[in-house]
Amino acid sequence: MNTWVEAPPPRKGLGCFGRACLILLAFVIVLGIACFAGMYWGLHRHSALFYGSYWLAKTRSIAEAPTPVPEFSASDQQIQLVQERWQEFEQKTRASQAAEIELSADELNALIATSEAFRGKVFASIDRNLLRLQVSMPIGGFLGRPGYYFNGDVIIELNGAQSLDNPQFSRITINGEQVPTDFLKWKYRSRHLREYLADHGNAYDIGTIEIRDGKVFVRSRAN
């Protein structure tokens, strides 16, 4: 049986999972938490909370128990190599140089393995231009009421290389139910959701993200 191998201490400045191309996953999880909070407290004054609550209920994404997530065995060497590649990519983006990094599913999972918050809770796989994320994340701590989980089988398909300023999704499904592709137009705290996503791209100088040929490609704004 596969077991997790503890990752070596991350290099300073890497930011591992949070700064990697899985920004999309983090965004989906944050959206799920925000939407569930809206459903729980009945706050329907923001469209993201109202529509998101509906879709999370429809997809049965919120549960009182976690669901199994596939395990990934990452060696120290695998983790070190992908960390070094990501660090080089970050150094070039900070210097406003053209940079690109391509990551396979195994490399994405190696990045996940470096994060205690996500290790064992998220598993990535890629089939041609489809990114699949199997997620089981505790969210009770965000709500002050333990015992709730966001359990999602998320599939993301993009229309070629996409800027985080205004990405175009071909398809997003959660637990087999298709989410409206215009969900980034929903509002939370008087801002469109695409503005929050753009903020992440600006913070880390991410130009575009593309999913194709079984890999995720991340390019700097200087490209």
For each of the chain's 223 residues, which pLDDT tens digit applies? 444 444 444 444 334 444 444 455 555 554 554 444 444 443 344 566 666 667 777 778 888 899 999 989 888 898 899 889 988 988 888 888 999 999 999 998 988 888 887 889 889 999 999 999 898 988 766 556 678 888 889 888 888 998 877 777 888 888 888 877 777 777 777 777 777 777 766 666 778 889 999 999 988 887 7
CA distance 108 to 89: 15
- Look at residue 8 and tell me if it is in a domain: no
> In this structure, what token pair is assigned to residue 120?
């064992």
The answer to whether residue 209 is domain-embedded is yes
Residue 2: which of 78, 66, 76, 70 has the closest Cα?
70
Nearest to 32 by CA among 55, 9, 12: 55
Structural domain that includes position 160: 16-220
How far apart are the C-alpha atoms of 158 and 145, rounded to whole Å? 35
Report yes or no on 3 lying in a domain: no
Question: Would 47 be classed as within a structural domain?
Answer: yes
Spatial separation of the C-alpha atoms in residues 156 and 126, rounded to whole Å = 10
Helix (H, G, I), strand (E, B) or coil at 172: strand
71-94 burial, b at 16+ Cβ within 10 Å, e below that, comes to ebebeeebbeebbeebbebbebbe
Let me know if residue 83 belongs to a domain. yes
Domain count, the chain: 1
Examine residue 33 and state whether it is found in any structural domain, yes or no: yes
Residue identified by tokens 């509002």 is 187
Q: Is residue 2 part of a domain?
A: no
Cα angle for residues 106, 223, 127 (degrees, 5° grid): 30
In a domain, 141, yes or no: yes
Long-range contacts for 115-118 (Cβ within 8 Å, ≥24 apart)? 115/16, 115/17, 115/18, 117/17, 118/17
Instruction: Enter the pTM of the model.
Output: 0.74
